[in-house]
C-alpha cells in the first residue's frame, strides 16, 4: 500500500514539475503539448455593433500573453451569420502580432445582419484555439 502511495506521489510530482506555466508546456499522456492562450475579444463583444456615422468598425482584442519571440501573427476572420464556416467567410487577414485591433470598412456590413468574427494567435510552434463572437449590426 505504501509503495502505491509513493508511486502515485512521484507521478503527481512529475506531472507538476513537467508543467511549465511560463513556457506553456503541459505533460499529457507521455507527450509535452503546447498550450497556447486564446486571444480575449474586447470589441465588438456583445450582441450588437453600431456603425452609424462610422467609416469602419474596429475589432479589438487583448494583448498577447506568452512568449513574444514565438509570435507570428493573429488570424482574423469575419463571417456572415452565426456559422464560422468557409462558405460564410467574407474577410480573412493576418494581423501583426504587435497590433491588437483591426478596422473593417462599414460598407461591408448590412444593417440588421448577423456577423461572427474569430481570432486565433499563430505561433512558430502552433496556434491557439479560436476566440469567437457573433453580433448584429445596428444603425442608431
Together in a domain, 15 and 76: no
Domain interval for residue 77: 37-138
Together in a domain, 16 and 46: no
Cα–Cα dist 87/126, whole Å:
25
Domain containing residue 80: CATH number: 2.60.40.10
pLDDT in tens, 46-105: 899 999 989 999 999 997 666 667 788 999 999 999 999 999 999 999 999 889 999 999
DSSP 82: S
Together in a domain, 30 and 57: no
Together in a domain, 31 and 50: no
Task: Please count the structural domains in the chain.
Answer: 2
Answer for the pair 37, 66: CB distance below 8 angstroms, yes or no.
Answer: yes
Q: Cell digits for 51? A: 456603425
Q: What predicted TM-score, i.e. pTM, was given to this entire model?
A: 0.72
pLDDT in tens, 88-137: 999 999 999 889 999 999 999 999 999 999 999 888 878 888 999 999 99
Together in a domain, 59 and 86: yes
CA atoms within 13 A on the CB side of 56: 8
Q: Is the pLDDT confidence value at 2 over 80?
A: no
Strand pairing of 126-127 and 114-123? antiparallel
Amino acid at each position: 500500500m505504501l509503495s502505491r502511495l509513493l508511486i502515485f506521489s512521484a507521478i503527481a510530482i512529475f506531472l507538476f514539475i513537467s508543467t511549465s506555466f511560463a513556457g506553456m508546456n503541459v505533460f499529457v499522456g507521455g507527450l509535452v503539448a503546447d498550450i497556447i492562450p486564446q486571444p480575449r475579444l474586447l470589441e465588438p463583444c456583445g450582441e450588437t455593433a453600431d456603425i452609424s456615422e462610422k467609416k469602419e468598425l474596429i475589432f479589438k482584442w487583448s494583448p498577447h500573453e506568452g512568449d513574444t519571440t514565438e509570435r507570428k501573427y493573429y488570424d482574423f476572420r469575419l463571417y456572415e451569420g452565426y456559422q464560422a464556416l468557409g462558405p460564410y467567410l467574407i474577410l480573412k487577414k493576418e494581423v501583426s502580432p504587435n497590433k491588437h485591433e483591426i478596422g473593417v470598412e462599414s460598407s461591408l456590413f448590412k444593417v440588421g445582419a448577423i456577423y461572427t468574427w474569430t481570432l486565433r494567435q499563430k505561433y512558430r510552434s502552433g496556434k491557439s484555439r479560436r476566440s469567437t463572437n457573433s453580433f448584429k449590426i445596428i444603425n442608431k
